[in-house]
Amino acid sequence: MKIMEIEGAKELNGTIRISGAKNATVALIPAAILTDEEATICNVPEITDTEALCDILSLLKADVKRASESIVINPKSLENIEIEEKYSKKLRASYYFMGALLGKFKKAVMYFPGGCSIGARPIDLHLKGFEALGAKVTNEKNKYIVEAEELKGANIYLDIASVGATINIMLAAVKAKGTTIIDNAAKEPEIVNVATFLNNMGAKISGAGTSTIKIEGVDYLHNCFHEIIPDRIEAGTYLIIGALCGNNLKIDNIIPEHLDSITSKLEEIGVSLEVGLDYITINKSNNTFKPTTIKTAVYPGFPTDLQQPFTVLLTQCNGKSKVVETIWENRFMHIPYLKDLGADVEVKNQTATIIGPSKLHGTQVVATDLRAGAAMVAAGLFATGTTTITNVEHILRGYEQIIEKLTGVGAKITLKEI
């Protein structure tokens, strides 16, 4: 088991360079098998989710070459092999192989995906989308068989603007006959990045980034070279850390517009930041911050993936703050540990009420999921004394070189194997 040990209350100064977006990467790697030639993806983060998806590519006999930050995927020898549970359960995004294999071979057989336990996480909208395109879905225990004689474009309305369903339907529809329209599509930047990747291969997708996406099916997808966008959630996490511990901490290689909902909340509570073309410089404050209310929402609203780290910052606001989680029903698992560190927080239904400011003192805590883990890192860096985080495998799934990046700006943080 790996643990992190943080000696807190150090000022962080210097530059943190943001990596490629995890939630784009995990869709782009499965999407790459759709090409009839070869796909090169660069700015790929070295995180365990990337490894898990490359393992699936190897299982399917794709040719995968990795060199520093890029991956070259050639699916010429691809075989449509069943994706066993030991592969699918390593991460949520294994489900993108369903759409990609369906689009490529008109058949996909795989087990239910894994991922953080932040809610029930059904995939009914993905399956309904596949059915609308003409596929038959059979579910045997945990195994899904999705098969079509022919995939035909369709009009699909998503009951919820789901990121995963939007991308998965795009992957299945890209080579279908005719035109597919996805209405009430999710608008996250990662979706735009995946659509751009597919268009670079010759797909005809328009409207990505709006709530109506149009996909005109094509027969052939050629070579492409693609760059992954910077990770807005990683950037947001380091901004929160900067608001707690920063002394001219520069968060570099970002797209500031993707972070508007975060920067406006930071400014609202009184955090000082300077927004540049592709960076933000941030400072901690000697005073407490103003309290606020956060309600998570689909993009461009406040991202659920930053709600947990943000609760740590809210412990330093003067008065009562609230966090209303609207996307996932189980995303407050970090709160008991935040209380152990000294925070005054109560959770009722889907709302956390935080009374600040509180002094935080290091103790032993658990990373119950990826972003809960990020919250514990933020809390540990701010708290006095030593914080030990267990279950850090969750954190390493999504934050590239987190130890190196934080150590590089003055944090005392170590990863240990016990």
* Residues at the interface with ligand EPZ (CB under 6 A): 23, 26, 92-93, 116, 118-119, 121-126, 160, 162-165, 186, 304-305, 327-328, 370-371, 398
* Three-class SS state of 69: coil
State the nearest-atom distance from the C-beta of 19 to ligand EPZ, in Å: 13
Q: b vs e for 229-257, b when ≥16 Cβ sit within 10 Å of the residue's Cβ?
A: bbbbbbbbbbbbbbbbbbeebbbbbbebe
Among residues 45 and 164, whose Cβ is nearest to ligand EPZ?
Answer: 164
How many residues does this entry show for the chain? 418
Neighbour-count burial of 319, counting CB atoms closer than 10 A to its CB (0-12 exposed, 13-18 middle, 19+ buried): middle
Task: Determine the angle formed by the axes of helices 96-105 and 22-31, rounding to 10 degrees.
Answer: 20
Catalytic residue selected from 42, 54, 116, 317: 116
Nearest to 352 by CA among 403, 298, 291: 291
Beta bridge partners of 414: 5
Parallel, antiparallel or unpaired: strands 386-390 and 2-7: antiparallel
Among residues 38 and 369, whose Cβ is nearest to ligand EPZ?
Answer: 369
Q: Tell me the residue number closest to ligand EPZ, measured at CB.
A: 164
Among residues 166 and 387, whose Cβ is nearest to ligand EPZ?
Answer: 166
Nearest to 94 by CA among 26, 35, 141: 26
Among residues 155 and 407, whose Cβ is nearest to ligand EPZ?
Answer: 155
Among residues 274 and 329, whose Cβ is nearest to ligand EPZ?
Answer: 329
State the nearest-atom distance from the C-beta of 121 to ligand EPZ, in Å: 5
Q: What is the Cβ-side half-sphere exposure of residue 354, based on CA atoms within 13 angstroms?
A: 33
Beta bridge partners of 345: 354
Among residues 163 and 317, whose Cβ is nearest to ligand EPZ?
Answer: 163
DSSP state string for 341-364:
TT-EEEEETTEEEEEE----B--E
Helix (H) or strand (E) holding 309: helix 304-314
State the nearest-atom distance from the C-beta of 142 to ligand EPZ, in Å: 16
Among residues 94 and 390, whose Cβ is nearest to ligand EPZ?
Answer: 94
Whether the CB-CB separation of 183 and 156 falls below 8 Å is answered with: yes
State the nearest-atom distance from the C-beta of 307 to ligand EPZ, in Å: 9
Q: What is the Cβ-side half-sphere exposure of residue 320, based on CA atoms within 13 angstroms?
A: 5
State the nearest-atom distance from the C-beta of 358 to ligand EPZ, in Å: 25
* Three-class SS state of 143: strand
245 flagged as catalytic: no
State the nearest-atom distance from the C-beta of 303 to ligand EPZ, in Å: 6
DSSP state string for 358-387:
---B--EEE--SHHHHHHHHHHHHHSBSEE
| Dist. CA 357–CA 354, nearest whole Å | 9
State the nearest-atom distance from the C-beta of 207 to ligand EPZ, in Å: 18
Catalytic residue ranges: 116
